[in-house]
Chains A and B, each alone.
Chain A
């Protein structure tokens, strides 16, 4: 896995300069999960964002009756867990590997290091997260409107 290539390909780091990407390479950690393993559970306290390098994951939400419902499937180079970096709240859904996956993990604390060194780069990362959240919100709104 070439970290630089992975990070450059991610929408999350669009617009970042090579020095910033280089630091991100240093502060992200490789993680691997086997098919069926859970990356995190709905309700866990989250402090990390994950960028998929290889494979795909299901975003699973539990209903009140305990049953599970797959609300989305993400594939490399998608990322997930970004909401916890913004609001530091509990995970809103579980993430389960569909096949063997490899990822890069960026913790809140490591992102803080990045922010202290590269203020503009950090702002761009936050803008990119906001853009993704905004896109997802628009899509949800459209779905709701279609149902009404």
Chain B
């Protein structure tokens, strides 16, 4: 490799085969960028689908668990219903027994009332005859008093039986109320059992559907991962192609080949070198640099400090702008004609 004049560097860059080389590099770069983008997109999609599969599987497990819980609670309810129904049979028996007691009391109370009312009527009808002698009249009065006392006793007993009847009848009504409450609760729970069983069946079906979905996501993730691996393979192949392509320019241009630049020693000044970026770099270096443009660097510093090419053509020895500035005074600014 020999040092070149700037003119020679430009001639090399203008050669048809060099132009074609750059066109091919551009095409490879574009394909690499597309392949990378596709690889990243596929990887992102694969991770998303894997995540979705995991989420769906977890959801399916939760749904299945809730179906089991519903079934358990339905069974529990069913046991409770059986217990309530057993208790209700007992309560009905108690009620029947109480009903008989109350009927009995009612009969007794009717008979006593009848006796009392008959005795009361008889007492009101009976009077003292106009007895001829005092002894007989006294006898009549004593008999009347006994009957009155007897009526009073009957009245008291009737009141007691009546009170007992009221008490036992109220108990009978309470027992019936208990029976009805048990039946209502039993009905309520029975209905809940049916509902829970239906819900459980629905949850099981839902869980099965979710498991299937999770499996489909897993299959899709596997397929995407495979595609991503293929895309990555393509990226690696393109990188290798670009690497191989880089070697070609070294032979074509007889230059030093870097990773991002090609270089020639500068014939005009052996401390410097010409460099040409392979690609555009609007940032990342001290100036904005563009592919196939020639720049100047110091051999020691390399591309740490890149300079544009110095101007070509005539020197500006006739440049009198400074003279003008000093002649007119500093406040008469530069730029005036």
Binding site for B on A (CB under 8 A): 14-15, 17, 19, 23, 26-30, 107, 109-110, 113, 117, 120, 123-124, 127-128, 131
Given contacts A117-B311, A123-B322, A124-B322, 11 further A-B contacts (CB under 8 A): A14-B335, A27-B286, A27-B308, A28-B287, A29-B287, A110-B287, A120-B316, A124-B334, A127-B325, A127-B330, A131-B330
Confirm or deny: B283 has a beta carbon within 8 angstroms of a beta carbon on chain A.
Answer: yes
CB distance from A32 to the nearest CB of B (A): 10
Which residues of A lie under 8 Å from residue B321 when comparing CB positions? 15, 120, 124
Which residues of B lie under 8 Å from residue A128 when comparing CB positions? 333-334
Partner of A29, one of B288, B305, B311, B316: B288
Most A CB within 10 A of own CB, among B286, B287, B310, B319 = B287
Number of residues on chain B facing chain A (CB within 8 A): 19
Binding site for A on B (CB under 8 A): 282-283, 286-288, 305, 307-308, 310-311, 316, 319, 321-322, 325, 330, 333-335
The chain B residue with its CB closest to the CB of A27 is B287
16 residue pairs A–B, Cβ–Cβ below 8 Å:
A15-B333, A15-B334, A17-B316, A23-B308, A26-B308, A27-B286, A29-B286, A29-B287, A109-B305, A110-B287, A117-B310, A120-B319, A120-B322, A123-B322, A124-B322, A128-B334
With contact pairs A19-B311, A127-B325 given, residues A107 and B335 touching in the complex (Cβ less than 8 Å): no
Are A26 and B288 in contact (CB-based, < 8 A)?
A: yes
Considering the chains assembled together, what is the distance between the CA atoms of A146 and B333 in angstroms? Answer: 28
Which residues of A lie under 8 Å from residue B319 when comparing CB positions? 120
Are B286 and A107 in contact (CB-based, < 8 A)?
A: yes
Are A29 and B325 in contact (CB-based, < 8 A)?
A: no
Considering the chains assembled together, what is the distance between the CA atoms of A58 and B219 in angstroms? Answer: 57
Partner of B286, one of A17, A109, A127: A109
With contact pairs A15-B321, A117-B311, A120-B322 given, residues A131 and B288 touching in the complex (Cβ less than 8 Å): no
Are B311 and A127 in contact (CB-based, < 8 A)?
A: no
Which residues of B lie under 8 Å from residue A26 when comparing CB positions? 287-288, 308
Partner of B333, one of A30, A110, A120, A131: A131
Considering the chains assembled together, what is the distance between the CA atoms of A120 and B323 in angstroms? Answer: 10
Which residues of A lie under 8 Å from residue B310 when comparing CB positions? 117
Are A14 and B333 in contact (CB-based, < 8 A)?
A: yes
With contact pairs A109-B286, A120-B316, A123-B322 given, residues A14 and B307 touching in the complex (Cβ less than 8 Å): no
Most B CB within 10 A of own CB, among A26, A110, A124 = A26
Considering the chains assembled together, what is the distance between the CA atoms of A71 and B305 in angstroms? Answer: 35
Which residues of B lie under 8 Å from residue A131 when comparing CB positions? 330, 333
Considering the chains assembled together, what is the distance between the CA atoms of A127 and B335 in angstroms? Answer: 12
Considering the chains assembled together, what is the distance between the CA atoms of A17 and B313 in angstroms? Answer: 15
CB distance from B166 to the nearest CB of A (A): 90
The chain A residue with its CB closest to the CB of B287 is A27
Which residues of B lie under 8 Å from residue A123 when comparing CB positions? 322
